[in-house]
Each structure stands twice: as structure tokens, then as C-alpha cells.
């Protein structure tokens, strides 16, 4: 888990030595990724402020200034973490829009998707790290994204209330309740623990809608 983590993913077979350029670029990207993965992990376990670039670098067996080959500032590292996190959410949510079904079914699908996202490091960082560290623009972007997730839930709930699959309720509070349960996962989920992301997703899809579902 420390140092060169990407070595696992590079093809274990003999890499042809005559693709040095491609190689270099890949190596660079892999290292950049390694930095990000290490950074997000440390940001999550230690907190952004208490994580010094020195420590990040040390854990990667490089020195602090080397990080500046891949990122312009500590801030930029954080922004990248958020960006990847947002992508994770969007990648998981994407398909749901198109898929049919009742409002309730969609809410459940959203919950499962959200759980999948929040149980990854980058996904978790979006909800657990303090977005006040970000620059004004970056923060604005992140907040917009967060609001859009909330809106997605709210809209589906209203849809469900319209099609009769969801009992009448205040969609705003209902969405807040669901979002809270989901975001909180980031505080107790342990990767590799006895509760898998799938299990949590299934359980929460039922549990959090049990009170919404029309009888």
C-alpha cells in the first residue's frame, strides 16, 4: 500500500523497451495517480491540514519538491481529488436517468449508485473533506455538484409521489434524510470490512425508502 502502488496494474509481461516515449508518459501518469491516491488516503485519515506534503512525499519514497513535478500546489492536489470524486459520482449516477421505472425504483437506484461512489476514496473525499479549503471557483463547482445530487434525489421523490410509488411527504426533508444517511457512510465504512459496498447499498436502498414507500 505504500510506494509504487501502480506496479500491480502495469502489464507483468515483458514491456518492449522500444516504446520509451509512451512508457515515459505512462510512468508519469501512473506516478501522478499514485500521488493522488496516497494524498486522498492521507487527507481522509489525517485531515487536509494535518497532512503535510513532506509526509505524502515520504510515504511515496520521494521528496517534497518532487511532488511539484505533478502538481502546482497542495491546493491543486485537493482540487484533483475532488474532481475525480465528482467523476466517480457522475459515472455511477449516469445510467439511472435513462433507465425507466417508478420514482421509487429510481430513488433506490440512486441510493445504490451513491453508495458505490461514496465507498471509494475519491468519492468519500467529496463529502468528508472540508470544501472551504478550496479556492472560490473550485468550491463553487463542488457545491454545484453537491446540489445537483440533492436535486436528483428530490426530483425522483417528487416523481414518485406523482406516480404513486412514494407516499406524500416533504421532498426536501426526505432528500436531506437520505443524503445524511449516505454521506455518513464515509465516517464508518471500512474497505475490506465485513460490510461490503454492495451489501450496504442493497440494505440502504430498502431501509431508507421503507418509510417513503407507499403501502
Partner DNA sequence: TATGAATGAGCTTTCATTCAT
Partner DNA sequence: AATGAATGAAAGCTCATTCAT
Any contact of residue 72 with a copy of itself (CB under 8 A)? Answer: no
Please tell me the distance from the alpha carbon of residue 203 to that of residue 142, in angstroms, as a whole number.
28
Max Cα-Cα span within the chain: 66
What residues between 117 and 136 interact with a copy of itself by CB under 8 A? Answer: 130, 132-133
Among the candidate windows 20-28, 105-113, 123-131, 143-151, which touches DNA by CB under 7 A?
A: 20-28
Any contact of residue 18 with a copy of itself (CB under 8 A)? Answer: no
Among the candidate windows 61-69, 74-82, 98-106, 204-212, which touches a copy of itself by CB under 8 A?
A: 204-212
Please tell me the distance from the alpha carbon of residue 41 to that of residue 51, in angstroms, as a whole number.
10
Nearest to residue 56, comparing CAs of 40, 33, 73? Answer: 40
Q: Which of 33, 75, 87, 131 binds DNA (CB under 7 A)?
A: 75
Compute the radius of gyration of the chain from its Cα atoms: 20
Please tell me the distance from the alpha carbon of residue 174 to that of residue 147, in angstroms, as a whole number.
15
β strands within 89-203, DSSP E: none
Which residues sit at the interface with DNA, rule CB under 7 A?
2-6, 20, 24, 27-28, 31, 50-54, 57, 62-66, 68-69, 72-75
- Binding residues for a copy of itself, rule: CB under 8 A, are 46-47, 49-50, 130, 132-133, 169-170, 173-174, 176-185, 187-188, 195, 200, 203-204, 206-213, 215
Amino acid at each position: 500500500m505504500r510506494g509504487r502502488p501502480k506496479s500491480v496494474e502495469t502489464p507483468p509481461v515483458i514491456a518492449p523497451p522500444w516504446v520509451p516515449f509512451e512508457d515515459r508518459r505512462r510512468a508519469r501518469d501512473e506516478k501522478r495517480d499514485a500521488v493522488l491516491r496516497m494524498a486522498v488516503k492521507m487527507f481522509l485519515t489525517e485531515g487536509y491540514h494535518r497532512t503535510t506534503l513532506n509526509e505524502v512525499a515520504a510515504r511515496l519514497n520521494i521528496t517534497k519538491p518532487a511532488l511539484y513535478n505533478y502538481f502546482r500546489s497542495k491546493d491543486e492536489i485537493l482540487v484533483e481529488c475532488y474532481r475525480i470524486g465528482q467523476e466517480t459520482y457522475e459515472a455511477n449516477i449516469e445510467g439511472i436517468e435513462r433507465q425507466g421505472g417508478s420514482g421509487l425504483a429510481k430513488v433506490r437506484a440512486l441510493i445504490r449508485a451513491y453508495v458505490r461512489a461514496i465507498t471509494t476514496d475519491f468519492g468519500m473525499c467529496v463529502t468528508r473533506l472540508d470544501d472551504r479549503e478550496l479556492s472560490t471557483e473550485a468550491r463553487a463547482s463542488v457545491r454545484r455538484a453537491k446540489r445537483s445530487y440533492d436535486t436528483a434525489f428530490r426530483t425522483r421523490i417528487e416523481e414518485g409521489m406523482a406516480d404513486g410509488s412514494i407516499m406524500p411527504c416533504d421532498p426536501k426533508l426526505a432528500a436531506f434524510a437520505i443524503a445524511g444517511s449516505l454521506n455518513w457512510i464515509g465516517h464508518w465504512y471500512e474497505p475490506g470490512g465485513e460490510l461490503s459496498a454492495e451489501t450496504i447499498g442493497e440494505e440502504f436502498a430498502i431501509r431508507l425508502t421503507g418509510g417513503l414507500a407507499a403501502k
